[in-house]
Structure 1
Amino acid sequence: MSFAPVPRPAFVLHSRPYKETSALVDFLTPEGRLRAVLRGARGKAGAVARPFIPLEAEFRGRSELKTVGRLEAAGIPNLLAADALFSGLYLNELLIRLLPAEDPHPELFEHYRATLPLLAAGRPLEPLLRAFEWRLLDELGYGFSLDTDIVGQSVAPDGLYRLLPDAGLEPVADLQPGIFHGADLLAMSQADWSAPGALAAAKRLMRQALAPHLGGRPLVSRELFMNRKEPTRD
């Protein structure tokens, strides 16, 4: 895919130094995830080349590695702190790890753009993360039904199910490790997070669903979150 030098919305997912004064930046755009060299990264453009800031960017080049022609802020920065910051870094890492380069996903871009202000506003994190994980899986073709099992039967509230990542939900007879209750799955299908146990079950389900696509490598953002320092108490 070649990019004409026209402005397009973008977000920085990750940036690292490149050569003497440049940066190698992973961007999310409606046209997909792309990597580009940002020259003069210590100047004005480098000041806005940070995660969670709505940007307007121009990219040049026909190869997989683009060059940033212009980069400007295009909205109010989403100021994430504490657990919301770790959550935003987690979303960025998922996109870098799972989203193929230059594969357009405009609806996923809009979902990401809508999620960041909610994180910044202090909305409950777990529903936002589960919704984004689900959208990402669905966009990549890895989604599955939450209210129908692999043989086409409706999920029963009192049933037990296990996830087959490449197929969907399989009914089982006995409670085993990693099993899901039908009532929790049905609550997830309706995004009813008031149902007891639904959020915890959704977290387990998304971890199981994402694991085969992460290649066995742990997520750095998840490790950072788990190892974060607890606030000092006087």
Structure 2
Amino acid sequence: MAARRIADEPAYVLHSYDWSESSLILETFTRHYGRVALVAKGAKKPTSNFRPVLLPLQPLRVTYTLGGEGHGEIHALKGAEWAGGHVMPTGDALLSGLYLNELLLRLLAREDTHAPLFDTYAGVVRVLATVDHEGEHGDALEPVLRSFELLLLREIGLLPGLDAETSTLASLHAAARYALVPEAGLRPALPTDRAALSGGQWLALQGALDEPARYTATLRAIATAEAPVAADLKTQLRALLQYHCGSPLLRTRQLMMDLQKL
């Protein structure tokens, strides 16, 4: 029986590691099949057509054949082409993109389809590619990351509703302060909380997430917020993401902290 073939599938390389002296195992994020593991035989050879293509944060079209039972296996990469559109992000944008890749690796199950999230990720990578390269969109870096974090958590069912207290379902008061915490969801802020937002700010974010163009609306909502609001949102989302990722600390976050100490 001939192996089933997936052709011309939109994809990004999230991570790669050695499989043999000449081959690589790729963790990819595909539009129609989610996170897929592929073996790229001979990809490390100097003459391989894969060498200049299989890079992170680059839009690809891949062709592969399914291995074993076809689900949860490592499949055989048969072809990969750069889909064009933008260059590799650099500097802080590159590190931010690798951070997003690590989140997807930690939080997405293999071969669990998330087409809307794939489209959001592709949009984020396009923005990252303009940061530092053309000197544009530098101010958009933090809002872009926060927007993706929110949409990722929502897509995989780890973000509680932001329009009510999680435990009681009580409506939020616009002027009151609320904190998003891993163990309890959204609750009234305590004096010991490191960060919190007003009820009105949480409601605005929920409204943005409910719009049809969720990524654009969420990005706009965060970009127009005051700097302290964005900083407090970052603190809470990072804590929630680390909680669900488990130990150890995300490698890209540790690298960011180490670089800040230099």
**TM-score, scaled relative to structure 2:** 0.80
Which residue is 1:170 aligned to?
187
1:1-234 to 2 correspondences below 5 Å:
4-30=5-31, 31-41=33-43, 42=45, 43-63=48-68, 64-122=73-131, 123=137, 124-150=140-166, 151-165=168-182, 168-172=185-189, 174-182=190-198, 183-189=200-206, 190=208, 191-196=221-226, 197-228=228-259
Structure 1 residues without counterparts, runs of 5 or longer: none
8 Å contact 1:160–1:175 — kept in the other structure?
no
Deviation, 1:176, is: 2.0
> Number of residues paired by the alignment?
229
Report the 3-state secondary structure (helix = DSSP H, G, I; strand = E; otherwise coil) of the residue aligned with 2:5: coil
Report the 3-state secondary structure (helix = DSSP H, G, I; strand = E; otherwise coil) of the residue aligned with 1:6: strand
Q: Which moved more, 1:90-99 or 1:217-226?
A: 217-226
8 Å contact 2:128–2:141 — kept in the other structure?
yes
Instruction: Give the RMSD, CA atoms, in angstroms.
Output: 2.2
Structure 2 residues without counterparts, runs of 5 or longer: 132-136, 209-220
8 Å contact 2:179–2:193 — kept in the other structure?
no
Which residue is 2:211 aligned to?
none
- Provide Cα deviations, 1:11-69, integer angstroms capped at 9, x if missing partner: 11111222021111110001100111101213111210001111111121234111101
Deviation, 1:230, is: 8.6
- Provide Cα deviations, 1:71-93, integer angstroms capped at 9, x if missing partner: 11111343211110110000001
Change (3 A) 1:222 1:179: closer
Distance 1:73 1:167 in 2: 43
Deviation, 1:229, is: 7.4
Distance 2:224 2:86 in 1: 31
Aligned residue identity for 1:103:
D
Q: Which moved more, 1:78-87 or 1:146-155?
A: 146-155
Distance 1:72 1:158 in 2: 52
**TM-score, scaled relative to structure 1:** 0.89
Aligned residue identity for 1:72:
E
Aligned residue identity for 1:4:
R
Distance 1:201 1:26 in 2: 32
Distance 1:141 1:3 in 2: 31
Deviation, 1:222, is: 1.2
Aligned residue identity for 2:156:
L
Report the 3-state secondary structure (helix = DSSP H, G, I; strand = E; otherwise coil) of the residue aligned with 1:19: coil
8 Å contact 1:14–1:25 — kept in the other structure?
yes
8 Å contact 1:187–1:193 — kept in the other structure?
no
Distance 2:143 2:222 in 1: 10
Distance 1:100 1:215 in 2: 15
Q: Name the % identity.
A: 35
Aligned residue identity for 1:194:
T
Report the 3-state secondary structure (helix = DSSP H, G, I; strand = E; otherwise coil) of the residue aligned with 2:146: helix
